[in-house]
Structure 1
Amino acid sequence: MFRTPLVIATALAVAFGLGILSSIYALRATVGFGAITLGPWTAFPAAQTVDADPYAKAHRARDGKLLLGGAEGLVFTAATDSDRRTLVENCRYEITGITPPARLWTLHATDARGNPLAGARPDLPTGLNAWSVLRGADGDFSIDIASSAMPGNWLAVPEGRASFLLVMTLLDTPTAGSSGVIDLAMPGIKRLDCADA
């Protein structure tokens, strides 16, 4: 007598449980569809627009972050260097090249969830922008990323072994529209050395 309702209840519990787990996995796996990859940098031009896919909308709602409008700017993230090795705090990196045209760009490091790095000291340079970076005669720049002080352009990361992301935001850029993104060139990220090597 109780066998049929028990089987139905078990089947529903398994179905709902697997559905919820697969949805959580899908939201953690990607920001959405339509990613543009330029070297180690990845952007989602449609993630903040009305035309965003359901995964991008759900990801945006879950994170509760304010995104830039399509005409306001474009956010690129890098989880690896140019050789596809994960960015980790105990290694030194160099970012070289130029950025796409933009009125202003910013660069900072975050953890895998986009939060400020734990253990970062407020008296160290945890972010750079187009107005503060030193440039060469031809307009290119070189930025060192390390936990210890470096001469010139230096972005500080905490001492440790955790992985991190680099986030470059281009503000008021003509490349925010998806039509101009593919022809862009982003700066390269080169691993110099690691503390445990």
Structure 2
Amino acid sequence: MRFVLRLLLSIALALATGFGLSYSALTDGRLFGATQLGAWTTWPDIGSPLPNPYTRAHIAREAALHLGRSEGLQFIARADSAGEPLDLACSYRLDGRSPVSSFWTLAAIDGDWVNLAAPGSDAALRSSEIARAPDGALRIHVGTALRPGNWLELTGTGPFSLVMTLYDTTALTGFSSADTTMPAITREACR
């Protein structure tokens, strides 16, 4: 009798672990196939002809149209560089460099992938519009409060994510000669 109970307990534990890890891999997506660069996450295999099974399942569950591998990469940040979730009640500063690409965009979205750009403003900041420091570094302010310089004006309340899409990039392809770095996200002030 004791053997049967242990066997049933082992089977239940194995099933719970298997289903739990599968659910986590499908909902979060960062468990397998994701690359983390600071606060930013990307899935380099998402646009490849043969993504791993977990990436394929994450793509199917997300139901979004993704760029092909040769077209570009999409990086998502749900937290700042200190690990705190991004919140529209706060303003943020992005500092640093973007990976080498022909063109990139920066947008803010909510949990349903709805763009949070303020009415009357552009839906995203584009690399061609950014004023850079003499050394090529960028500084972008993100939030609802007016800021001088490069500013991504947002509207709304609650949590949000930043999406930086790099077009025609060699980042994470093995062909890039430079280190791939992403801008740091620093929380400045909250209201």
Alpha-carbon distance in structure 2 between the residues aligned to 1:143 and 1:79:
17
Root mean square deviation, CA, Å: 2.7
Alpha-carbon distance in structure 2 between the residues aligned to 1:77 and 1:146:
17
Amino acid at match of 2:163: V
**Is residue 174 of structure 1 aligned with residue 170 of structure 2?**
yes
TM-score by length of 2: 0.81
Task: Give 1:7's aligned residue.
Answer: none
Q: Deviation at 1:38?
A: 0.9
User: What is the identity percentage for the equivalent residue pairs of Structure 1 and Structure 2?
Assistant: 37
> CA offsets, 1:3-58, max 9 Å, x none?
xxxxxxxxxxxxxxx9xx86665421216622111110111101221221223222
**Is residue 122 of structure 1 aligned with residue 116 of structure 2?**
no
Q: Which structure 1 residue ranges, 5 or more long, are not aligned?
A: 1-17
**Is residue 68 of structure 1 aligned with residue 67 of structure 2?**
yes
Decide whether the 8 Å contact of 1:76 with 1:167 is kept in 2: yes
Task: Give 1:3's aligned residue.
Answer: none
TM-score by length of 1: 0.78
Alpha-carbon distance in structure 1 between the residues aligned to 2:60 and 2:174:
22
Q: Which stretch of structure 1 is more off in the superposition, 133-142 or 28-37? A: 28-37
Task: Give 2:148's aligned residue.
Answer: 151
**Is residue 89 of structure 1 aligned with residue 93 of structure 2?**
no
Assess, with a 3 A threshold, how the Cα gap between structure 1 residues 100 and 25 changes in structure 2: closer, same or farther: closer
Q: Deviation at 1:126?
A: 3.8
Q: Deviation at 1:148?
A: 1.9
Amino acid at match of 1:30: G
Q: Deviation at 1:183?
A: 3.0
Decide whether the 8 Å contact of 2:46 with 2:68 is kept in 1: no
> CA offsets, 1:129-187, max 9 Å, x none?
11011112111111111112211111112242x11110001100112515649931111
Total equivalences in the alignment: 177
The residue correspondences of 1:14-163 to structure 2 (distance < 5 A) are: 26-30=25-29, 33-117=32-116, 120-160=117-157, 162-163=158-159
Decide whether the 8 Å contact of 1:73 with 1:176 is kept in 2: no
Alpha-carbon distance in structure 2 between the residues aligned to 1:186 and 1:144:
15
Decide whether the 8 Å contact of 1:106 with 1:130 is kept in 2: yes
Assess, with a 3 A threshold, how the Cα gap between structure 1 residues 68 and 159 changes in structure 2: closer, same or farther: closer
Q: Which structure 2 residue ranges, 5 or more long, are not aligned?
A: 1-15
Secondary structure of 1:149's counterpart equals: coil
